[in-house]
Structure 1
């Protein structure tokens, strides 16, 4: 008896053609070609939730009808796939009782179990059709029968293994397993399946049921009679999925040292950098190892699979993170182009549209938006986490968020300290189990995670970083602020590093354009010379549009042992498309008022940073401000402040203190207008003729009040600093008169000829004397007014500090 021919005849009587030859099953680890600037994770491999939009009840119901039609069409395809799966069972079971069985008795029992469960599922569906029920009730009945899939899921891995063994050992079975056909679609298009792909369909349906319920619930108005039933069905479906995930985790557990078992601790999407090429990967952190995988998207007749990329044991793993914010101009242009396209697509999706044709166009736009976001997520990250194994293997992961990087680093570091010995994993089994673990995961796309638009921030959000308390030892620290929402604009920035101090002060304003923001993440980071930066603490603050106004409100955040004092301000307005990243305006040779305005301060950062650096490590330096620094170092610092404030402050900390002093003198010398206005030169010269010292100082302080605000406060800030330098005269040999001699010509200059000056002409010798004596007189004043360095961030109408 030719069992193979009988099986072929059986299939043909049911109008299922059998191909004589077929290619072998595709290997799980077969590599596919991916374009260098396309997302390595195809958007079709993930069922994304819709981008949230505000729709009327009529539009929701119209969209709900489209979703229901899609679900009905999907169910019809699923039933035909089950028919195709059950077709060859009779012939296969018949062959088991012959001398040349295709399946052994044990393998036959596995398939019989699958057949029973599928049949039970179909019977449950038939029972539902006998009742006149609402849509919500039908879904409730459906999810109440999801437990029937439990046995099939438990049996799935064994069944797939049987298919693979039989495919390799028996050419008759291979032909059957690779030649199953089904009629799909209205036009009865013939689709070819593999047996393995059909076996996966029930598992795939469990996940798709949850996703379909979520989509249906989004389009069902709250007041609709189906809403409560659909919510309960979604809760039951998610609960079942969670149970499946927990079960799969315990099943793939491996006994490690100290009696522990291998468990999944954390997973998520990261960017893996290999030889300069960036790829989006799904990273799984187990108790004893890191597993990096990539998702092979599902195609017709194939199931979704995870492919192994690499793994690293946690024992002895060393971590190091860095920030590489220097992108090429080409990458910056491409990222700006991506953000602009995303912004336009999002604006189109938020417009009210009606009709199935427009909804279909929106669906295509939404799919394109998700694809662009994946590309942006792959190429925008600047924070790098380097992993170094004792075996010499190293890998680099990229993150767009320092907060997310620190969470991964903490989770990995906590496990590495346990020093658990790694049991070599079965990579095929471990990677295959990722399909189950992946059921409830989604890529971290901002347009999806933002949720409802109500109450989210859209406009200009400003954060003023004031100071920090609670440091255990002096350190150079900076504050990093991140906001979420749609990723159309830059969502992360940092303050400049402080000088080594127990109580650092910044008074620096950071500004964001936000669209859909609802969380702010704040980190306090310590810079270590030649070592890794250390995150001292971090926290998340929920942003409520109702609690934020266009007036500054001061808050104190607890970041571990460190308290960071800051102020928040929010102005709601409609946003324009993102503009290219503008280069920082220059600082030197620019009017001081313009510099203060662009930095949103009163005393420019270059002045404050130089003063802090000198007071931190140069107060005892002999000849401070008199002995010149190296011209090359000064010019390097000048160029840095003209291009990148953060980089300039970092370089300032490593420069010789005389070069820092030279930079400060150069800044005042290159001001287009002197710090003390030229029109005050003659008036101040006359005040010097007052013989009584106290009367002279009172007159000069009165004249100082007429100075523009930025110049007045910067001058007072410098005077206070020079007074503190003179207090260390015994060590640095710099008296008040010496300091006045150094700074006088840079701070005060007579008006140039032809600028409306009608007073007597002053020769060069008298000019220098007046410049020195004016500054010396001010330095002699013991009751100088206080200098305001930053804008007033707390208005009178605001309440006191808020602790969060």
Structure 2
């Protein structure tokens, strides 16, 4: 293989070309594509940068990448250490400048993405949603990786320059040269180089879409042939073609090895960066070599329909076999799933993989279920690990704040412990199981702590199983041994590996208010699952209760997270069917920005597949205490309604709404509904469930006998420590009943109702509207307004108790019942009852702050 040129050699070669040479090359390329070049454009040759590339550049990725096959560079011996460090600084500044240009190019490429995505939902789209996905595949992720790298490198170089200016002593400057540490930044960036694998795999498809739409749609042609980018601080602008910008990541990834070589050559062996840069160079070379090998394997293994076997996805999962849980590296190929055991090699040797099992995709059946509740001893063990992780991280942060020059060996040991404990959590903190069943009778189960991650794997596998590809029996030894070079994921998804003192991540309380959804194709019981990332000291996932069967589900449910290091919020909408497996209808990710989130609610609309979900976010930053054991939901029965409403963030408690919805779903034609009692044991079971876990309670409510559901609602009002209609209104309502004229009587009673606390008033109005709807079916259920008032009156209104601050006359027991029934009956007869407000508004920010994602 020919050795590729170094960056400095390439720079010298490029300097040999004049601006006109570059322009002529661009013109020739455009003409080869049958794109006319006008004379007016030719006159602007002096302002055009090299923004197109020869046709051979496109085809080079149909064959193996041109990677440099060299050993790690030897350290030069002809220069002094001062000269090394000076050259090293020059290389670093050149890398920074190159990164800045690359980021501007990626930003230019991404600039039209939102507009194109928005137009995809219109009647005249420029690109379809699938085409937008294809064209911009992995580009936002690549941009984020390089932005993080650029920001970190710029900050360290700036800090070094400031020290150099303030320190006049030449000896101190040389010492500072050894203090300039950037190896971790390169290592972190290269550890994510696997993202380029997906981009490379998708590149040809993306170019095909761009070319096709450029020729067929004048609107896209205008965009694709004149993409403008500012050149940094000056006002000059560079014109690119869309296709040229798509090529930039390909060009960039091939330069990574060369950049690392140049930097390593100018880094003394005793420098703290040397080992990290060696590892980064090894990973970079391994990735490019893996892409080459992948290209070779595509040509060598051809499946049915002319398709070639290729790696589609890989990552770390928990595999369960004979009751044992083990962390495994899973590889998804075009026609099969390969499960391997990663074996980390000692320094200087290559990592290896050991074969565990494989399943052909043909006929593979998938099923996911929520894992069974963990036993108490497992919860106790997990809590113990979380507590140790929290203490260890707090100690490490304190050391770094007090002494930023804390011993690297001490920090490394603490970091290693954090990673080991997080790995234990990753293996045992399981919530979901993905079952794989092959027609041959073989079955395997993969465990996940994240429903979002499980769904990504399920979608990727399911998409391939629908193509009915025949499996070519693999050479398992060869396939497994090639995993080291083919892998796109380098390490398990451990937050502690890459987490530092990131001021942009969230630390405090994140509240998520799930409002409602639209867009369902048919009525369904739906719930929303919400996940956050960051350190796993605290629970990172929770769910709403399941909605009643509806096309437009409402939850008005507030979820709360204690977060540390959180940067992303993942939201899934799941349909729950009786007797069938749950189905994920859609998912989306929200970037959590500490600069835009605050203590006021911020409304957002998320597109989850075909479902449009409305939610609100607010964030309160504060120091976090040690993780507590499983948080118990405060009880709701026998608790003042204002307290329950406040802790749920609503005006009408969920127990009331859920019971009412369930009665209206299947109890409106039940004879004697609310009059005939349900089974005492079932009512007690539902009460206990509502007192401990709302989501589980609603699930049980769906299958409970409907009279037990109505019994739970009556029991809730009966056990309120203070009645729904405040006791102090009893006498005033009694006097209102004496008003003979109905209209003035109702006006007086409605006026008294306005003086009730908000939660009491809105819950009472919500119940009244429900009971009126029940009475509309009285020809079937035999429950008139008077019958309903007789059932609910004693529970909703009670006279004051003598000797407890009450100075008025006592009420006879017979008169008491009459007043209770007549008050509720009068309210039920009102035809213009105010509408009940179910929850507090969560969109208190101005309208222009509401966002659509």
How high is the TM-score relative to the length of structure 1?
A: 0.72
Deviation at 1:121, TM superposition (A): 4.6
* 2:743 matched residue in structure 1: 694
Q: Distance in 1 between matches of 2:488 and 2:366?
A: 29
Query: What is aligned with 1:339?
Result: 386
1:440–1:695 distance in 2 versus 1, CA, 3 Å: closer
Q: Closer, same or farther in 2 for the Cα pair 1:788/1:393, shift >3 Å? A: same
Find the counterpart in structure 2 of residue 655 from structure 1: 704
Which residue in 2 is equivalent to 1:134? 84
Deviates more, 1:291-300 or 1:663-672: 291-300
1:603 aligns with 2:661: no
5 Å-filtered alignment, 1:247-326, equals: 247-253=292-298, 254-299=301-346, 303-324=350-371, 326=373
Check whether the contact 1:353–1:359 (CA below 8 A) recurs between aligned residues: no
Deviations 1:380-400 (A, max 9, x none): 121111111111111111111
Instruction: Choose 246-255 or 683-692, whichever is displaced more.
Output: 246-255
- Counterpart check, 1:500 vs 2:569: no
Q: 1:228 to 1:641 in 2, by over 3 A?
A: closer
Q: CA RMSD in A?
A: 3.0
User: Structure 1 residues 693-702 or 705-714, which shifts more?
Assistant: 705-714
Q: Per-residue displacement from partner, 1:540-580 (whole Å, max 9, x unpaired)?
A: 11111111121111111111211101111111111112111
Structure 1 stretches of 5 or more lacking a match? 1-116, 143-212
* Secondary structure class of the residue paired with 1:308: strand
The answer to whether the 8 A contact 1:461-1:571 is kept is yes
State the secondary structure of the residue aligned to 2:401: coil
Match of 2:486 in 1: 437
Aligned position for 1:394: 443
Residue number in structure 2 paired with 1:680: 729
**Quick one: which of 763, 767, 781 aligns to 1:718?**
767
Residue aligned with 1:125, SS? coil
Please say if 1:125 is aligned against 2:78.
Answer: no
Shift of the 754–141 alpha-carbon distance from structure 1 to 2, 3 Å rule, reads closer
Q: CA deviation at 1:688?
A: 0.9
Question: In the superposition, relative to structure 1, how do residues 331 and 314 fare at CA in structure 2: closer, same or farther (>3 Å)?
Answer: same
Q: CA deviation at 1:657?
A: 1.7
Instruction: Give the Cα–Cα distance (whole angstroms) in 1 for the partners of residues 632 and 513 of structure 2.
Output: 21
The aligned counterpart of 1:636 is 685
CA contact (8 A) 1:450 1:518 kept: no
In the TM superposition, what whole-angstrom CA distance separates every residue of 1:672-715 from its partner, at most 9, and x where no partner exists? 22111223222211211111111111111111122222112111
Q: Are 2:468 and 1:423 equivalent residues in the alignment? A: no
Deviation of residue 421 (structure 1)? 1.4
Q: Which residue of 1 aligns with 2:496?
A: 447
1:138 Cα shift?
A: 6.8
Matched position secondary structure for 1:558: strand
**C-alpha contact 1:264 1:287 (8 A) present in aligned 2:** yes
Structure label with greater radius of gyration: 1
Runs (4 or more) in structure 1 with deviation over 6 Å come to 138-142, 216-219, 225-232
Question: Closer, same or farther in 2 for the Cα pair 1:636/1:354, shift >3 Å?
Answer: closer
Q: Does 1:372 align with 2:386?
A: no
Measure the CA separation in 2 of the matches of 1:487 and 1:698: 56
TM-score, length of structure 2 as denominator length = 0.68
How far residue 612 of structure 1 moved from its aligned partner, in angstroms, is 1.0
User: Corresponding residue for 1:175?
Assistant: none
Aligned-pair CA distance for 1:447? 2.4
Structure 1 residues 260-317: Cα deviation after superposition (integer angstroms, max 9, x where no partner)? 2211110001111123221111111111111111112324796532111111111111
Cα distance in 2 between the residues matched to 1:358 and 1:301: 25
Alignment-derived partner of residue 173 in structure 2: none
**Residues 1:512 and 2:561 are matched in the alignment:** yes
Name the residue aligned to 1:409: 458
Note if contact 2:600-2:845 (Cα within 8 Å) is conserved in structure 1: no
537, 540, 544: which one pairs with 1:488? 537
Checking the alignment, whether the CA contact within 8 Å between 2:575 and 2:583 is kept in structure 1 is yes
Maintained 8 Å contact 2:312/2:333: yes
- Whole-angstrom distance in 2 between the partners of 1:121 and 1:295: 25
Greater RCO (Cα-Cα under 8 Å, separation 6 or more): 1
Write the distance in 1 (CA, Å) between the matches of 2:652 and 2:817: 26
Count, aligned residues? 617
Distance 2:745 2:621 in 1: 51
Contact 2:352 2:481 in 1 (8 A): yes
- Contact conserved, 2:533 with 2:569, CA < 8 A, in 1? yes
Q: Is the 8 A contact 1:620 1:732 kept in 2?
A: yes
Which residue of structure 2 lines up, in the alignment, with residue 787 of structure 1?
A: 836
Q: Distance in 2 between matches of 1:796 and 1:566?
A: 13
